[in-house]
Amino acid sequence: MISHRKLLITNNPGVLPMEAPYSWIDAKEITRDDITRLTEEFGVDSEFLADVLDQDEQSRIEKEDDHIQLIVKIPVKADEDDGNSQVITTLGIMLYADKILTICQNDSIVLEDLEKNRYRQYPLNTKEGFVLSILGRATQVFIRLLKTVNRQINKVEEQFQKHGAVMNFELMQLLEIQKSLVYFSTSLASNQALMEKLQKTSIFLMNNEEEREFLSDSIIDNSQAVAMANIYSNILNETMDAFSNVISNNMNIVMKRLTLISLSLMFPTFITSFWGMNIKLPLANNPFAWAFLAGGCLIIAIIGMFILSDRKNRYVQREVSLREISEKRVRKEKIRNRRKRKIQEK
């Protein structure tokens, strides 16, 4: 879908917005017909279109004969509640003398905000400021998404503490989060390299000090986002390692219990095997011998399980549980006393 947009610029609060001195042609969610129209009507190079449609393309800037073309990585949406890890898309920007052409395979919250004139105090007066505004807005959305990822990690940890065991859906959630963090890290690093290049290159000249300051602030914010992505990736790796240790520990506990059962049944098996020999044995002529043997086997099995069981570990767990119950009672008593004092003061 190709649309002609009107940008309204609001420099100061209380002042009526003015229309941008350039036109904006927005091509998003493009189809085959849109690709044909972009190639024939707007003269877009087929190689550049292929780069825009490639989700793995890196951010960069290039100078052509009559225009400047850039590739930027931007978020698709503002949150990850649907669990979809593919939240990054490639945006192509072409700067002509009197117009800007943006090409994107998907819709994006960054373009949606720009379309609905939600940008405030952004340098949209010039075409270069338009590019900087997209980069700055994308960085802010990335930071918001990273905070959402951190909340998702905390939510999975709370579910693990609640269940006391690692569920399959929790592992799937962590895998989706890990994929998202990989996309965020690579996209932020790519945009960081582009913004640093914009400060030095001669083919992208900023028009005033406001744009230069805005670019510097965007670089700082993007560096913060890169650091956040690395921190959350480390936290996620530590969480997954902890989950792996818990799974291994649970497996060891199960194997220990099975071994305990096998060893406990070994003693009754020895007794029944001994009495199964074809020789004269005590109680051989007693009609209730089977009852004595069954009872003896059961008693020996119980004694064996008691001897082989980890009584110390159970004692420690019981002490910890009693301590937690006691601490909860103390906290509730303190809250109750605090409420009584407030009521008496009133």
- The answer on 318 and 234 residing in a single domain is no
Residue 70 in any domain: the answer is: yes
Neighbours of 197 (CB within 10 A): 14
- The answer on 176 and 278 residing in a single domain is no
Map residue 7 onto helix, strand or coil: coil
Residue 42 in any domain: the answer is: yes
We report the CATH number of the domain holding residue 19 as: 3.30.460.20
- The answer on 267 and 133 residing in a single domain is no
- The answer on 319 and 222 residing in a single domain is no
The angle at the Cα of 229, spanning 70 to 164, to the nearest 5 degrees, equals 145
Residue 35 in any domain: the answer is: yes
- The answer on 62 and 171 residing in a single domain is yes
Give the pLDDT confidence score for residue 227 in this predicted structure. Answer: 92
Contact assessment for residue 278 and residue 230, using Cβ atoms and an 8 Å cutoff: no
Give the pLDDT confidence score for residue 107 in this predicted structure. Answer: 81
Six token digits for residue 1: 């879908």
- Residue at which a domain ends, from 192, 218, 247: 247
Give the pLDDT confidence score for residue 314 in this predicted structure. Answer: 59
Q: Please write the tens of the pLDDT for every residue from 130-188.
A: 888 889 888 988 998 888 888 888 888 777 777 666 677 777 888 888 888 888 899 99
φ and ψ at residue 24, rounded to 5 degrees: -120, 120
Give the pLDDT confidence score for residue 220 in this predicted structure. Answer: 92
pLDDT band at 193 (very low <50, low <70, confident <90, very high): very high
- The answer on 146 and 35 residing in a single domain is yes
pTM, two decimal places: 0.72
Give the pLDDT confidence score for residue 201 in this predicted structure. Answer: 84
CA 130 to CA 122: how far, in whole Å?
Answer: 8
Residue whose token pair is 């900023």: 206
- The answer on 303 and 223 residing in a single domain is no
State how many domains the chain has: 2
- The answer on 19 and 85 residing in a single domain is yes
CA 52 to CA 73: how far, in whole Å?
Answer: 10
Pairing of strands 68-75, 60-63: antiparallel
Residue 339 in any domain: the answer is: yes
Helix orientation angle between 46-53 and 32-40, rounded to the nearest 10 degrees? 140
The angle at the Cα of 19, spanning 202 to 198, to the nearest 5 degrees, equals 15
- Residue at which a domain ends, from 216, 247, 278: 247
Q: Please write the tens of the pLDDT for every residue from 83-119.
A: 445 578 888 998 888 888 888 888 888 888 777 777 6
The angle at the Cα of 52, spanning 47 to 58, to the nearest 5 degrees, equals 100
- The answer on 119 and 38 residing in a single domain is yes
CB-count burial class (<10 Å; 0-12, 13-18, 19+) for 186 = middle
- The answer on 210 and 333 residing in a single domain is no
Tallying the residues shown for the chain, one arrives at 346
CA 280 to the chain's CA centroid: 73
- The answer on 74 and 93 residing in a single domain is yes
- The answer on 328 and 216 residing in a single domain is no
Give the pLDDT confidence score for residue 334 in this predicted structure. Answer: 76
Residue 7 in any domain: the answer is: yes
| Nearest alpha carbon to residue 111 among 97, 92, 84 | 92
Q: What does the longest C-alpha to C-alpha distance in the chain come to?
A: 113
Contact assessment for residue 192 and residue 226, using Cβ atoms and an 8 Å cutoff: yes
Contact assessment for residue 243 and residue 171, using Cβ atoms and an 8 Å cutoff: yes
What is the residue range of 47's domain? 2-247
CA 53 to CA 91: how far, in whole Å?
Answer: 9
Give the pLDDT confidence score for residue 83 in this predicted structure. Answer: 45
- Residue at which a domain ends, from 247, 278, 306: 247
Q: Please write the tens of the pLDDT for every residue from 21-78.
A: 778 888 888 888 888 888 888 888 888 888 888 888 888 888 888 888 899 998 886 5
Provide the 8-state DSSP code for 276.
T
Contact assessment for residue 211 and residue 126, using Cβ atoms and an 8 Å cutoff: yes
Residue 252 in any domain: the answer is: no
